[in-house]
Amino acid sequence: MSRQLLLRTLLLVACIGGTHLAHALTPEAALAMATGDSASRIAAMQTAVAEQPDARTAAFLRALADGEVVVAGDRALIARDGQAQDPATGQGVPLPEGAEDVSNNNRMRSAIGAALAALDLFAPDAERRLQAAQAMRQGATAERLPLIDKALAQESDARVKRALEQIRAGVQLSSGDAMGRMASIATLLEDASPATRLLLSERLAQESDEKVQAALRRALAQVDDQLAWGERLGVAFTGVSLGSILLLVALGLAITYGLMGVINMAHGELMMIGAYATYLVQGLFQKYLPGAFDAYLIVAVPAAFLASALVGAILERGVLRFLYGRPLETLLATWGISLILMQLVRTVFGAQNVAVENPSWMSGGWQALPNLTLPYNRLVIIAFAFAVLALVAWVIARTRMGLFVRGVTQNRPIASCMGVNTARVDTMAFALGSGIAGLAGCALSQVGNVGPDLGQSYIVDSFMVVVLGGVGQLAGTVYAALGLGVLGKFLEGWTGAVLAKIAVLVFIIAFIQKRPQGIFAMKGRSAEA
């Protein structure tokens, strides 16, 4: 009994070994890929990828792409640093004298790249297999069907299997059998993506069968309907993203303008200071703590707040406190200060924009729909904006400083009579609003370049947000910022960026004519005066 069991085991091992050897790269296959004309080499390459999709084949193709393959007699060898290697076994062999280098033209380089991408279908990592399948989708041909079927037969990951089925259906969409084309259409409909729409459109232009044409038109209509939702959601997300940035910019302005009535034209430059503070912190981490670079925002956020808050406090104590009650002179003074700050930044950092890198955890995006990718940096900024809003609301509603700010905002003379140091409250409130502008600059540095003119792009929009929301009202600022962001992006799709800006401005003017106090009116005795 034991002898029979041993015999069966040996037979099984022999069968497994024989199967493995049958599918391993052979010297003849390697030679065929290295010699002959381009057509025969490409055909040999496709056969090797379909029949021997193993690590030896991948290594030989990479060596072929890097120009590290030589031919000596009837053998193709991998040659590196004066040493030769047998591509079939991986063992080192003496480099023969007179071995000829294998050269590749552009057609061969393209074919080698496609073959290497196809071999990734058998990689151990599922993500790598998925990327290979997605890359193959555009250029898949009938010659690749055996390879696709082979990968599909051994695939265990549901996402990769679905991608391979889509590739197979795309290839069979051009088959001679009308029923096969109908079945391919049904499979392709499971993935309503732009690539599917392109395949169906191309096939519709070539299709002669009326039933298949009707099925293609129905499928295209269904795909268009599903993609339309992705496009609408993409516009809405872009609008919310813009609105969150406007919210950060306008939040500080709502505090200073609502409290002191100061039209601060240098608010955009305070935001610029926060962005440059983020740039400096990034540079320090790159130089002294490169291993902890992904954590530099933990330091950059408070640094941006403190830098802008300090400049804002100096601005209030040095200039603005002498101009209260004179709005025109305040406007002119802050405009002059904004020019000074911009020129100072140009002198120190130069007139060219500087780049601030995203940490690795903010790179890339989340694929919500086939035609909708939500960038991680935008998602983080939206969450950051609402976190700052919640913190400011807590400061205003729950802290002693917030009590003083609300008291001075509602009735400054009475607050002063009650013992509140209104001058100190003004400085603290202005520094808080300036610090929030610095946080807006820190957030903006993660979605674009930083330059001396950074604040000029947002100052007018932020004033519109404050006026529309209601002076001194945080809730109104939120509604106005998000509303204007979403409205502007939807209008841009219909009218273009310039006309959308004009339409938004006309809407704000009309709204203020009907409701001068904004979305939310200020409460208190000062509002009744």
Q: What pLDDT was estimated at residue 509?
A: 83
List all residues 6 or more positions away from 232 whose beta carbon is below 8 Å from its beta carbon: none
- What's the chain's length in residues? 529
pTM of the model: 0.73
In a domain, residue 113? The reply is yes
The amino acid at residue 397 is A
In a domain, residue 528? The reply is no
Q: How many domains does the chain have?
A: 3
The alpha-helical segments, DSSP class H, found in 66-207 are: 106-119, 126-136, 145-154, 158-172, 178-188, 194-206
Q: Do 410 and 315 belong together in one domain?
A: yes
Q: Do 413 and 289 belong together in one domain?
A: yes
Nearest to 148 by CA among 160, 158, 103, 66: 160
Q: Do 99 and 138 belong together in one domain?
A: no
Q: What pLDDT was estimated at residue 471?
A: 63
Q: CA-CA distance, 508 to 510, in Å (whole number)?
A: 5
Q: Do 418 and 274 belong together in one domain?
A: yes
Tell me which of 122, 138, 169 is where a domain ends.
122
Q: CA-CA distance, 273 to 341, in Å (whole number)?
A: 9
Range of the domain at 31: 26-122
Q: What pLDDT was estimated at residue 524?
A: 47
Q: Do 40 and 151 belong together in one domain?
A: no
Q: Do 304 and 395 belong together in one domain?
A: yes
In a domain, residue 511? The reply is no
In a domain, residue 312? The reply is yes
Q: CA-CA distance, 92 to 75, in Å (whole number)?
A: 14
Q: What pLDDT was estimated at residue 167?
A: 80
Structure tokens at 400: 């002693």
Q: Do 319 and 177 belong together in one domain?
A: no
Q: What's the mean per-residue pLDDT of the chain?
A: 83
Give DSSP secondary structure letters for 332-348: HHHHHHHHHHHHHHHHH
In a domain, residue 203? The reply is yes
Q: What pLDDT was estimated at residue 138?
A: 66
pLDDT digits (tens, 9 = 90+) for 2-34: 444 433 433 333 333 333 344 578 888 888 888
Q: What stretches in the chain show pLDDT beneath 50?
A: 1-22, 524-529
Count Cα atoms within 13 angstroms, Cβ side, for 296. Answer: 26
Structure tokens at 77: 């060898």
Nearest to 331 by CA among 257, 389, 394: 257
Tell me which of 180, 208, 236 is where a domain ends.
208
Q: What pLDDT was estimated at residue 20?
A: 39
Q: Do 301 and 196 belong together in one domain?
A: no
Q: What pLDDT was estimated at residue 438?
A: 94
Tell me which of 189, 208, 227 is where a domain ends.
208
In a domain, residue 329? The reply is yes
Q: How far is CA 201 from CA 52, 139, 170, 497, in A?
A: 35, 16, 12, 30
In this structure, the number of other CB atoms found within 10 A of the CB of residue 29 comes to: 22
φ and ψ at residue 358, rounded to 5 degrees = -75, 145
Q: CA-CA distance, 33 to 175, in Å (whole number)?
A: 29
Q: Do 191 and 282 belong together in one domain?
A: no
Q: Do 343 and 409 belong together in one domain?
A: yes
Q: What pLDDT was estimated at residue 25?
A: 84
Q: Do 293 and 412 belong together in one domain?
A: yes
In a domain, residue 455? The reply is yes
Q: Do 305 and 431 belong together in one domain?
A: yes
Q: What pLDDT was estimated at residue 313?
A: 94
First-to-last alpha carbon distance for the chain, in angstroms, is 107
Pairing of strands 372-375, 92-93: unpaired
In a domain, residue 227? The reply is no
